[in-house]
Amino acid sequence: MRFGKKGNLDPRIVGPFKIIQRIGKQACYLELPEDLTSIHDVFHVNYLRKFLSIYDEMVPLSEAKLDNKLRYVEEPEEIVNERTTELHNKEVNLVLVKWKNHRCPNYTWENNNEIRAKYPHLFKSL
């Protein structure tokens, strides 16, 4: 089962987790909470990342929204800014979106039409 598009346990999404035991040089047992009992607790070391951060980026599992396939659901909080860029003789309208459930500031430029179609309630204040 995958977590988001990356396919690993990203610490900003559902971690960090304690390593209980190493299995040789290639794998580790992780201490997973009861909510994740359907996931096998052995992971290859390539899927694990050391948690080094200035911000407390961990989102508690109770606050994280997972869909029925255990994928993290991102939700935008507000539209901060708008701009138009030129891309191969075509103008593209972009919006700067602030995302929820992040302990540090998380802003990304997204396509205006896609965000407007998915989240029309964000544009009522503009």
**Pairwise pLDDT comparison (41 vs 94), residue with the higher score:** 94
> What's domain 76-123's architecture?
Beta Barrel (2.40)
The separation between CA 61 and the C-alpha centre of its own chain, rounded to angstroms, equals 12
Domain boundaries, the chain: 1-73, 76-123
Query: What number of residues does the chain have?
Result: 126
pTM for this model (two decimals): 0.49
With a pLDDT cut of 90, the percent of the chain lying above it is: 16
Per-residue pLDDT, 124: 74
- Tell me the pLDDT tens digit for each residue of 47-65: 776 766 555 555 666 667 7
